[in-house]
Amino acid sequence: MKVRKRKIILSLLAVILMFSLVAPNLTSAESAGLLWKSKRFGDNLVVSITNVHKGWAGPKFPRTTTPHVNVHVDKLNSYNNRVAKEIANYHVVKYKKQNKSCIYIYESKKKKTVMDQCATSWNTLVSKATSAMKSFAQAISPNDNFTLIAVFSAAAVTLYKLITSFIPVYPSDAIPDGEIVYTEADFITEAQPSNDLTGYIEETADGLYDSIQEDVPIAELPTLTETSIDNVENINTLYVSPANDTLKVTLDVGGNNSDLDLDILNEVPRYTVENSVGTIVKTGTMGTFIRRLSVNNTYEYEYRNTVSISTSGLPAGDYRIKIYMFKSIFPEIFPELTQQFYINTNRTITNFSS
């Protein structure tokens, strides 16, 4: 179980990094302080993500007013659902250094810098950060099949909103090129402060905050229908092959806001099927959403949409299906909306993989 928890933690960090680095400035901050209402994973683990707030955020930002978010991973008592133990408390800072964009993550329970990377382009940083997190997870547990997708799905919309309003911090010019206190080179590419923080506190907290500049759009993403995705908290897909030359797709969307009703009932998802070289060989629309009782009462509002797609005209080979919702596809946010599959010569469909 320990390994599973660590992978969840790492997965969340990967999510934050991914979305912090690819998302443009599209939305304003969530109104509530706690952006992601605590969600449970596994054995009484609960994960909470805060809104951006001022505070202490790790040795690299020793002032007490650094804008940051926290990811709390806690364990609940089984008898009263109260937090019994804090597993991790991540402080995540998005900052600028010269012309570079950077992400710093400090875990204050273990007193460890988890990541501190900069890049001239956000895309480069996304790639570095993601591969670093994945390789770290694999190093911990190469045989654990726990997938990142569940966490991605559950956290995606909230994190997207959070990060798009997450302004970068400009650290003091006096940052010394001190020793690197965390030796995982894959994670830490920036100099870390030495134990002597003299020089860090020359600039006032007010000065630091005043120097914050608006972030610039960092990547091209499709236009979002903001109102709609606001209310979606989870998407699950199931791809099966119930008969030869038939691909059945089940799409479940969940949320707790009654507005989701309006959003989803007006939504008709589309799909495309691409062959192995990326050519679209088939397009279509899914059915209409039907409200259903949520499994385990996870969501107050849950809807299902199913479609059976004929593949009879397609030659055997590798394909990828992509589902488009709310006028756009969000593979980064809902990675399960795309799925690879293989049409065999006997016309069965196998090898589903994301």
Partner 1 sequence: MKDVIVIHDITSESEWKNIFEVCINHCNKFDIIFTEDKLDEDNRFITGKKEFKNLRNVTIKPWDGMDNSIIISGSLDSEARKLIYKYTSPSFEGGVNDLWHYNIYKDDILFLGIQDFSVCLLENHAGVLELLKDIGVDPQTLED
Helix locations, the chain, DSSP H: 2-22, 122-140, 149-164, 205-210, 226-230, 259-265
Nearest to 308 by CA among 235, 353, 351, 251: 251
Indicate whether 86 belongs to the interface with partner 1 (CB under 8 A). yes
Based on CB atoms, which residue is closest to partner 1, 174 or 201? 201
Based on CB atoms, which residue is closest to partner 1, 59 or 269? 59
Calpha distance 127→332 (Å, rounded): 12
CB of 107 to partner 1, least distance (A): 9
Calpha distance 52→88 (Å, rounded): 18
Indicate whether 52 belongs to the interface with partner 1 (CB under 8 A). yes
Helix, strand, coil fractions of the chain, as percent rounded to 5: 25, 35, 40
Binds partner 1 (CB under 8 A): choice among 83, 221, 238, 307: 83
Indicate whether 101 belongs to the interface with partner 1 (CB under 8 A). no
Binds partner 1 (CB under 8 A): choice among 25, 27, 44, 48: 48
Indicate whether 167 belongs to the interface with partner 1 (CB under 8 A). no
CB of 174 to partner 1, least distance (A): 14
Q: How far is CA 50 from CA 37, 56, 70, 238, 347, in A?
A: 9, 14, 5, 31, 49
Say how many C-beta atoms besides its own lie within 10 A of residue 29's C-beta. Answer: 15
Indicate whether 37 belongs to the interface with partner 1 (CB under 8 A). yes
Q: Find the helix packing angle between 2-22 and 149-164, rounded to 10°.
A: 40
CB of 29 to partner 1, least distance (A): 5
Based on CB atoms, which residue is closest to partner 1, 111 or 291? 111
Residues that bind partner 1 (CB under 8 A): 29-34, 37-38, 48, 50-56, 62-65, 70, 72, 74, 81-86, 89, 91, 108-109, 111, 197-198, 201
